[in-house]
């Protein structure tokens, strides 16, 4: 008997069903400065849809690898769900890691895209990029949202 798969059996599928059910409720609570803030499901769903569309537009497909270099932040969740929605594979990298560690991860995973949280991470990444990866794109996470613009390394 063939096992049935459902989008409800995936993290993006469960997220979508939960967002529909709890549209106005808080989805994420995070600390900003000295206060706690929240993102409701409807806003999180909008962010996920926008990033998913952008990733699809630049050619991210099933089984592509996407490296995320970031600290913990709400955009991490957005990225994780968006990448998973396309069937791509998120490769999370701690931004405190060394350039040598990053170089190893890049060579082993052959990423189609880099998503980075700040200019320091971009600089570290730029040091490790070889000719084979110069044509890859990077997205930058701003302080408040995921920017729509992307740039080539070369």
pLDDT tens for residues 26-82?
A: 999 999 889 999 999 999 999 999 999 999 999 999 999 999 999 888 999 999 999
Q: Tell me, what's the pLDDT at 55? A: 94
List of residues 6+ apart from 149 with CB closer than 8 A: 140
The mean predicted confidence, pLDDT, of the chain is: 83
Rounded CA separation 22/51 (Å) = 21
Pick among 3.40.50.980, 3.40.50.620, 3.40.50.12280, 3.30.450.40: CATH of 7-152: 3.40.50.980
Q: Tell me, what's the pLDDT at 145? A: 36
Residue 105 reports pLDDT greater than 90: yes
Residue 148 reports pLDDT greater than 90: no
Cα separation values, 115 from 123, 125, 141, Å:
13, 10, 7
Average the pLDDT over 14-25 and give the result: 96
3-state secondary structure of 19: helix
């Amino acid at each position: 008997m063939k096992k049935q798969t459902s989008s409800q059996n995936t993290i993006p599928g469960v997220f979508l069903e939960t967002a529909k059910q709890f549209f106005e409720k808080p989805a994420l609570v995070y600390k900003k400065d000295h206060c706690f803030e929240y993102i409701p499901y409807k806003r999180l769903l909008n962010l996920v849809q926008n990033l998913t569309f952008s990733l699809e537009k630049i050619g991210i497909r099933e089984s592509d690898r996407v490296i995320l270099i970031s600290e913990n932040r709400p955009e991490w969740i957005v990225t994780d769900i968006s990448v998973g929605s396309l069937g791509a594979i998120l490769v999370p990298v701690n931004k405190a890691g060394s350039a040598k560690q990053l170089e190893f991860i890049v060579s082993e995973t052959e990423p189609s895209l880099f998503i980075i949280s700040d200019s320091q991470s971009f600089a570290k990444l730029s040091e490790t990029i070889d000719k084979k990866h110069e044509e890859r794109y990077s997205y930058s996470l701003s302080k408040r949202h995921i920017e729509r613009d992307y740039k080539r390394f070369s």
